[in-house]
Amino acid sequence: MALVTGASGLIGGGIARSFARAGAAVVVHGNKGVERAREVAAEIEESGGDALVVTADLGEERECRRLVEEAYGWRGRLDSLVNNAGVQPVQELAGMSAGDWRGMYDANVTSAFCCTQAAVGVMAGQDGGGSVTHIASIEGHQPAVGHAHYSAAKAALIMFAKAAAVEYGERGVRVNSVSPGLIGHPSLASEWPDGVERWGRAAPLRRLGRPEDVGAACVFLASDAAGWVTGVDFVVDGGVSARSTW
């Protein structure tokens, strides 16, 4: 059974559908995008899968605990948590306030911390333990202009996965991260034509990523095939980061 936070978004929806295709029952989390979360759950059920929508404000620690408790209570276990919820505003560093910085960390890092703590509490007590995956970004390795706070937050998620893997391994819980590159969506080419064109040239595989590319990585990391994999950052970027930057 898998819980995917932020599953109302493009990547989160793709992750939820990927788990469903792999045979998992999926808790589809949403907050402001709850209607889209319901659409994702409906798509899963129409394809013969099993899905439950749970709303929660992950800015509140008690809401993170409630989300995990409802997910666990639905099927009596929680095999995989994917911390996908987050925000990605563009803001130049020169005009950034401490409040902007804290807000980014709360949305992208603190929420993942709170959900992870709650999930480990139930995973450690069940047969087979469990798996936690944070959705980071290649910007956690190479920052982008206008994304200083975002890049730093994603780097923190990558390191949090490693630290949690070290401490929670003996409790039967594996913790990893996935760092996607640019994921395409229908309006991206019109919104950012230069970026799409540059990414198409830079990627050795000559295409943008798809939500299901990220989903496949998450399913693998949660599976028995990755039973001896913990503390790693799985880069899913079509080979862009393999290129020299000079």
72 is catalytic: no
pLDDT of residue 154: 97
pLDDT digits (tens, 9 = 90+) for 117-137: 999 999 999 999 999 999 999
Query: Structure tokens of 150?
Result: 């975002």
- Tens digits of per-residue pLDDT, 123-181? 999 999 999 999 999 999 988 888 899 999 999 999 999 999 999 999 999 999 999 99
CB of 6 closer than 8 Å to CB of 12 = yes
CA distance 34 to 55: 7
**Which helix (H) or strand (E) segment is 39 a member of?**
helix 34-46
Q: Are 180 and 197 a contacting pair, CB within 8 Å? A: no
Question: Residue 200's closest CA among 181, 179, 180, 178?
Answer: 181
Name the residue with tokens 């709360």.
106
Query: How does the average pLDDT of the chain come out, rounded?
Result: 94
Q: Show the tokens assigned to 179.
A: 């760092």
In the chain, the domains with their CATH numbers are: 2-239 (3.40.50.720)
Handedness of CA 150, 156, 157, 159 (dihedral sign): positive
Helix/strand/coil for 65: helix
Q: Which DSSP string corresponds to 144-171?
A: -TT-HHHHHHHHHHHHHHHHHHHHHGGG
Q: What is the pLDDT of residues 49-84, one digit of tens each?
A: 999 999 999 999 999 999 999 999 999 999 999 999
Longest distance between any two alpha carbons in the chain, whole Å: 52
- Its pTM stands at 0.94
